[in-house]
Structure 1
């Protein structure tokens, strides 16, 4: 496959380019939770308990910059900000679902108890 540049970054495959948009620990969980929903920062934070405020802010900004989510700020006090998927973000949901199903298959093959019992 031919390599290509985008935004001063070299990509070797379209897969690498796609993963730059949705890869990492937090982007897919954020996109998954926004499917069919408009959510505020606090709702996302509550739904993804292990993410820090700083990381959630960073990931939301990246997803917005890449056109995967839309951020709407309302001019009210206290400030109200809502996040939702764009059409581009919606296109990622079937891919995320496929990766999730594959993850479940791998977990089962490895004999891992999922979800784990709470102790």
Structure 2
């Protein structure tokens, strides 16, 4: 039987809280402790999106006019944000093309 198996859920959560505080104190953050331990940790803001998820969201925001700017996309407060799109596809305009649309004229001028 493992060290924690005999604990109730409430006791285990209390233990986790103590351990979490210690990890943050020693390693600076829970995420850093996980990285050093070889554990993949994703915060709630680090959701995984497939390329198709991103392109579908862009299509949804662009609507029937099939054009979109970074400003419009960011103003829609979507996840992932436009910076993630650029990291993934290289250029926002490239993602627009792959989504079957085009970047808006204001984006081209910038």
The two structures have a TM-score, normalised by structure 1, of 0.33
The two structures have a TM-score, normalised by structure 2, of 0.35
- Structure number with bigger Rg: 2
Higher strand proportion, which one?
1
Higher helix proportion, which one?
2
- Between 1 and 2, higher relative CO (CA 8 Å, sep ≥ 6) is seen in 1
